[in-house]
Amino acid sequence: MKSVSENRAAYHAYEILETYECGIELKGTEVKSVRAGKVNLRDGFARFQNGELYLLNVHISPHATASTYFNHDPRRTRKLLMHRAELRKLLGKVEQKGLSLVPLKMYFKGDWAKVLLGLGRGKNSTTNARPSKNVRNDGKWNGHSSNGTRVLTEDRANCYL
């Protein structure tokens, strides 16, 4: 299995619940570009259209030595290949609220190009953010300001009265 491209940003932006391996329908010049590693999965996503699964917004660079007549559109919609039973099961999961299909990796398995799709739930900014250093678990300040000087909290101020 030769890995061609990986989408590390998807692991940061989505909580990946399940992964699915599927084939991808490519043209001749696309196969040559994929073998050369000229693939960008960062903005890509998969969507169901008319009961079939398509990969959108994945950039596969045009092959350098091919003429413009035979070359492909870099961001064209590409059909993903899965068994019909898997597609039906996946369609039911995608219709749940907030679940998306994102490409995680593109690789060759033997002579066949494969895409690893992740079924993920989008993370919001509060999930990614670290809690402030100055806030305790109960939500009160820990007595230090951001510049290092001590600050009297309400609890400490009342003990001096």
| pLDDT of the chain, 161 residues: tens digit per residue | 788 889 998 999 999 999 999 999 988 888 888 888 888 899 899 999 998 999 999 988 887 776 666 677 778 899 999 999 999 999 988 887 778 999 999 999 998 999 999 999 888 766 555 555 555 555 555 555 555 555 555 555 555 55
Tell me what pLDDT residue 139 has: 55
* Structural domains of the chain ordered from first start: 2-123 (2.40.280.10), 130-161 (no CATH)
Tokens coding 154 = 């309400």
Q: Can you say whether residue 149 is alpha, beta or left, with left for phi > 0 and alpha for psi between -120 and 50 degrees?
A: beta
The dihedral built from the CA positions of residue 32, 35, 36 and 42, taken in this order, carries a sign that is: positive
Length of the chain: 161
What pLDDT score does 159 carry?
A: 52
| Residues sharing a CB contact under 8 Å with residue 32, sequence separation 6 or more, in sequence order | 63, 66
What is the structure's pLDDT at 124?
A: 78
pLDDT at 137: 57
Residue type, 47: R
Question: How far, in Å, CA of 16 to CA of 19, rounded?
Answer: 8
pLDDT at 132: 54
CA atoms within 13 A on the CB side of 100: 17
